[in-house]
Chains A and B, each alone.
Chain A
Amino acid sequence: MFLFWQDLQSSNLLLYALATGVLASVACGVVGTLVSIRHITYIAGAIAHCTLGGMGAARYLQKVVGIDWLSPLLGATIAALLAAVVIGLVTAYAEERVDTVLSAVWSVGMAIGLVFISRTPGYNEDLMSYLFGNILMVSLHDLYLVAALDVVILLICVLCYNRLLALCFDEEFAWLRGINVRAYDMLLLCLTAVTVVLLTQVVGIIMVIAMLALPAAAAGQFTRRLVGMMIVAVALSILCTVTGLVVSYEPEFPAGATIILTATVVYGLAVAGRQFARKWSRGAGIR
């Protein structure tokens, strides 16, 4: 642990990693809370896996075709938003089963990514970092993009807070109040998509949904209002990412996996704490 703090002062990469973790945690706590109360964690999962298509295609275009500005992170963002729009439109207008559409988006994105990666010489190791995350490879350019996306997400959530709450609580009633339910649903999917992209930088595609679900679920144990749940979820996400990063550094554990394990422990403690608090207050009530 000492080594981490020592290296933090000398290594920019470590600083970028820490900053990315904290910035992504902010979006993670806010949007993860919305995702969990709207019960769309598995839509987030489909979007996450679909980003591999964008990353793979962008890497190919960057390395083989020579389009330098098209970073994998940008490719992932485009793919995630595209997936969100497709899922949103299909579930709203086509009378298809939602899980069929999700499965298709989920695997088609991965398939496209794999094809592109196989055509990109010498970059098979990229695949591992996309799937499992490699927060220590974040560049300054990526960090700026993460920060910008964070600002956009927060701004939208503040402006649309009441409507998103109404939509998540009771969709039918929200529609009757004249809220454009389809538009806000689409907005929520796009927010989810962008958050997923930020989180893939930290924990990788495969573990994104744990990061969306666990801090929010832990926060939900102790809060009774949406805004409180969001704030606590942000704090817990930051706690998990920073702890995961610090703990994994010296023994060279994979950072993403360590962060997820930390989040699981936090969630477990929150559930146990809640049960304990309940029993205790019940016992006190009897006396």
Chain B
Amino acid sequence: MGSVVCFTDVTFAYDLAPVLENASFEIDSRDMVALVGPNGGGKTTVLRLILGLIRPNDGKVRVFGAMPRKVRHRIAYVPQHARHDSKFPADVMDVVLTGRLGRGHAPRYSAADREAAATALHDVGLSGHEHRSFGELSGGQRQRVLIARAITASPELLLMDEPTANIDTPSEDKLYQLLQQFNERMAVVLVSHDIGVVPHILSRVICVNRTVASHQSSELTGDIITELYGHEHMHMVHHDH
């Protein structure tokens, strides 16, 4: 299996205090991984480093063996859906089609672009919603539109920020089913502050709290979680493997 993401001794600081210190880990092309850790622990920093939005102060970040910003078109990113302006004048199709844009794209969308967008909407179960306004959708539906937008360009790595925030349990189950399907053709990385949601579908859990530790999801025990979060979160978890 090829390595999709590779961190080697990565250190990053916004000011003086490092958010991330000597972080090293790898994500393989068929991995389904969760980056978990407390808020402020550096998960978002890891995400932004992978996307190439920021550069490490020290160490090396490689995605598909290259600098992240050089391969950003091969990465699909699903941000938190709640941050979009609900009054934005765009329908579902408009939003999904932006996923087809890229360097050198013609001023207008082609028939192939529309077909890819329709297929992506079909994949996330939103066929027939093409012309609804993005703002009037439910949280779970918006998230699926953003997933469709992310996968229209046939990415090899899918990154999702806080996938379970602001959606209900049925939507959550549907989401995990979807991600399992996508995982057959791309690596999937979820970022979550809520370790209680770590489902059995994950191959590994990467714990981020200034430093980084990678665990097979079956190894994830109370001790590791205590180490990561401190005692007060102990009651949160126990999931079966």
Enumerate chain B residues within 8 angstroms of A162, measured Cβ to Cβ: 97-98, 101, 105, 107-109
Q: Which residue of A is nearest B72, CB measured? A: A176
Q: Does B103 touch A at the CB level, under 8 Å? A: yes
| Candidates A168, A179, A220; contact of B101 at CB < 8 Å | A179
Task: Kindly state whether residue B168 has any CB partner on chain A within 8 Å.
Answer: no
Q: Is B84 part of the contact surface with A, judged by Cβ < 8 Å?
A: yes
CB-based contact A228/B89 at 8 Å:
yes
Bound: A173/B151 CA distance, A: 12
Report how far A224 CA is from B89 CA in the complex, Å.
Answer: 5
B75 interfacial contact with A, CB 8 Å: yes
A85-103 interface (Cβ within 8 A of B)? none
Contacts of B79 in A (CB 8 A): 170, 172-173
| Contacts known (A37-B89, A226-B89); A178 close to B72, Cβ less than 8 A | yes
Interface presence of A287 (CB below 8 A): no
Known: A161-B107, A162-B101, A220-B87. A178 touches B94 (CB 8 A): no
Instruction: Tell me whether B94 and A225 are in contact (CB under 8 A).
Output: yes
Chain B nearest Cβ from A213, distance in angstroms: 14
A253 within 8 Å of B (CB atoms): no
Quick one: which of B101, B133, B153 contacts A163, CB cutoff 8 A?
A: B101
Chain B min CB distance to A285 (Å): 14
User: Which of B75, B88, B98, B105 is the one whose CB lies under 8 Å from A37?
Assistant: B88
Q: Tell me the nearest residue of chain B to A224, going by C-beta.
A: B133
Contact residues, A149-200 vs B (CB, 8 A): 158-163, 165-166, 168-170, 172-179
Give the Cβ gap from B120 to chain A, nearest Cβ, in Å: 14
Main DSSP-derived SS at the A contact region: helix
Give the Cβ gap from A224 to chain B, nearest Cβ, in Å.
4
Given contact pairs A162-B97, A165-B90, A165-B94, A176 touches B51 in the complex (Cβ within 8 A): yes
- The interface residues of chain A lying within 8 Å CB-to-CB of B105 are 162
CA distance A223 to B135 in the complex (A): 12
A18 interfacial contact with B, CB 8 Å: no
Q: Do B77 and A173 have beta carbons less than 8 Å apart?
A: yes
Q: Which residues of A are found within 8 Å of B109, using beta-carbon distances? A: 162
Complex contacts, A168 vs chain B, CB 8 Å? 88
A174 to B89, CA, bound (A): 17
Q: Mark B61-80, 1 if CB is under 8 A from A, else 0.
A: 00000000000110101010
Is A229 an interface position by the 8 A CB rule? yes
Q: Given that A160-B107, A169-B84 are known contacts, is A177 also in contact with B98, CB under 8 Å in the complex?
A: yes
Minimum CB–CB distance for B46 against chain A, Å: 16
Q: Beta-carbon contacts of B149-188 to A below 8 Å, as 1s and 0s?
A: 1000100000000000000000000000000000000000
Cβ of B107: which chain A residues have Cβ within 8 Å of it? 158-162
Give Cα A166 to B61, complex, Å. Answer: 27
B residues near A37, Cβ cutoff 8 Å: 85, 88-89
Q: Any chain A CB within 8 A of the CB of B102?
A: yes
Chain B residues positioned under 8 Å from A229 (CB to CB): 89
Rounded to whole angstroms, the CA-CA distance of A162 and B99 in the bound complex is 11
Residues in B with CB closer than 8 Å to A174 are 98, 101
Residues from chain B with Cβ under 8 Å of A163 in the complex: 101
A33 CB contacts on chain B under 8 angstroms: 89
When distances are taken between beta carbons in the complex, the residues of chain A under 8 Å from B77 are 172-173, 176
Instruction: Please give, as numbers and ranges, the residues of chain B lying within 8 Å of A225 by CB-CB distance.
Output: 89-91, 94
Q: Which residues of A contact B75 (CB under 8 A)?
A: 176
Which B residues lie within 8 Å of A161 (CB)?
107
Write out the residue numbers on chain B whose beta carbons fall within 8 Å of the beta carbon of A177.
72-73, 98-99, 101-102, 153
Instruction: Pick the 8 closest A-B CB pairs, nearest first.
Output: A224-B133, A166-B98, A178-B103, A229-B89, A178-B102, A177-B101, A226-B89, A159-B107
List 26 contacting pairs A-B, 8 Å CB cutoff, sorted by A: A37-B85, A37-B88, A159-B107, A161-B107, A162-B101, A162-B105, A165-B94, A166-B101, A169-B85, A169-B88, A169-B95, A170-B84, A172-B51, A173-B79, A176-B73, A177-B73, A177-B99, A177-B101, A178-B72, A179-B102, A224-B91, A224-B133, A225-B89, A225-B90, A226-B89, A226-B94
Q: Knowing that A158-B107, A225-B90 are A-B contacts, what are 17 other residue pairs whose CB atoms are under 8 Å apart, sorted by A's residue number?
A: A37-B89, A162-B109, A165-B94, A166-B98, A169-B98, A173-B79, A175-B72, A176-B51, A176-B72, A176-B73, A178-B101, A178-B103, A179-B101, A179-B103, A225-B91, A226-B94, A229-B89
